[in-house]
Amino acid sequence: MSTTAEPLRDDSPAPTEAGLERGDFAPPGAPLPPASLVVATYNIRYAVGHRLISGGLMRRAGLSFPGRRPTLVARNIAKAALAFTDGRRMPRADLIALQEADRGTVRGGRQHVARELSRRLGMSYVRAFAPTPADEEPKARQWYLDFEERIRKGEEGDTGVALLSRLPLSGVQRVELPWAECAWRPRLAVAAGVAFAGRSLQVLNAHVDPHAGVEEQLAQLRALLTHVGDEGAMTVLLGDFNTLSRRSCVAARAMLESLGYETPLPTGTGTWRAGPLRLHADWIFVRALRVRRWGVARGLRVSDHWPVWAEIEPTSE
């Protein structure tokens, strides 16, 4: 599998509406109706690697190598594609929710992460994004969240959330979650429908604000759930909820379970790491579905997060 870096190509799709784009690399022909689906969520961190804190410290010391970035990111996208298909760390994924999926940024090696990963996987994708502010500096944030590399002021590139699918996506929605204070940190989600087991499966991919307090994080999740149509519909809610404390994990779980959602993940499951530190940031919740098996695809070093996956099937009526 080639990992040669390529610049952002001229055939990259234009947004189909404000802040939303689509692409399709699925092979022709209708896919067979599956009896179960493997869904996954992955904060891919623009495919730059897993060294969040050490990488931030190196940049502060002036030790960075931007000329190597395109090749590094291209290689990591290829590694992620292999992890989602080869069956070693997880079963082959049918639906993938991505967060921090950059397009054309310097930090992301000028790559289009969601599009290139979709191309390698032979999937269609939808992506919601927000423009990079051109006339405002990012506001200060908590010191322990300040190791991340920032998009540069006025960059043409952007970051966003995406859904990749082997099955056709319908009813796509770009969802703006409630946020305040800093235009560099708008919170986005993307929702879509998939035909599954003769019914419609709703899939919602959220990237919740790590800078917000617990109540603000819950408000973002509640706002996303208003985009679920039928209360009895099969639903998968997944993404990076940025539950970086035990309190935030417990609160998010309690709120969603009170609304009829379930998760197979024990509270405190490590899905994000920095050195010896492990936190439970990423979740999969389901409603009107059964989880047959699930896991965390540890060992993949494309991001500071690991992919979280679950195999789902309809509950008996």
State the angle between helix axes of 113-121 and 69-83 in degrees (0 to 180), rounded to the nearest 10. 40
What is the number of residues in the chain?
Answer: 317
The region that residue 55 occupies, defined by phi over 0 for left and psi between -120 and 50 for alpha, beta otherwise, is alpha
The per-residue pLDDT for 3 is 43
Number of C-beta neighbours around residue 85 at 10 A: 15
Whether residue 14 has pLDDT greater than 60: no
Sign of the alpha-carbon dihedral angle for 106, 127, 125, 21: negative
Q: Which of 25-29, 183-187, 216-220 has the lowest mean pLDDT?
A: 183-187
Whether residue 286 has pLDDT greater than 50: yes
Q: What confidence category does residue 155 fall into, taking pLDDT thresholds of 50, 70 and 90?
A: confident
Q: Mean pLDDT throughout 28-38?
A: 83
Rounded to the nearest integer, the mean pLDDT of the chain is 86
Q: Which of 149-163, 242-256, 285-299 has the lowest mean pLDDT?
A: 149-163
The per-residue pLDDT for 57 is 46
Beta-strand pair 95-99/159-165: antiparallel
The per-residue pLDDT for 146 is 60
Q: What confidence category does residue 69 fall into, taking pLDDT thresholds of 50, 70 and 90?
A: confident
Q: Mean pLDDT throughout 128-139?
A: 74
- Only one residue has tokens 């079963």, namely 91
Q: Which residues of 266-283 are buried (b: 16+ CB within 10 A; e: fewer)?
A: eeebebbbbeeeebbbbb
Cβ atoms of 90 and 84 within 8 Å: the answer is yes
Tokens at residue 142, please?
Answer: 């908590």
Whether residue 53 has pLDDT greater than 60: no
The per-residue pLDDT for 20 is 94
Q: Which of 125-134, 146-155, 189-198 has the lowest mean pLDDT?
A: 146-155
Q: Which of 152, 188, 149, 130 is nearest to 51 (CA)?
A: 149
The per-residue pLDDT for 227 is 87
Q: Mean pLDDT throughout 163-177?
A: 94
Cβ atoms of 288 and 314 within 8 Å: the answer is yes
Q: What percent of the chain has pLDDT over 70?
A: 81
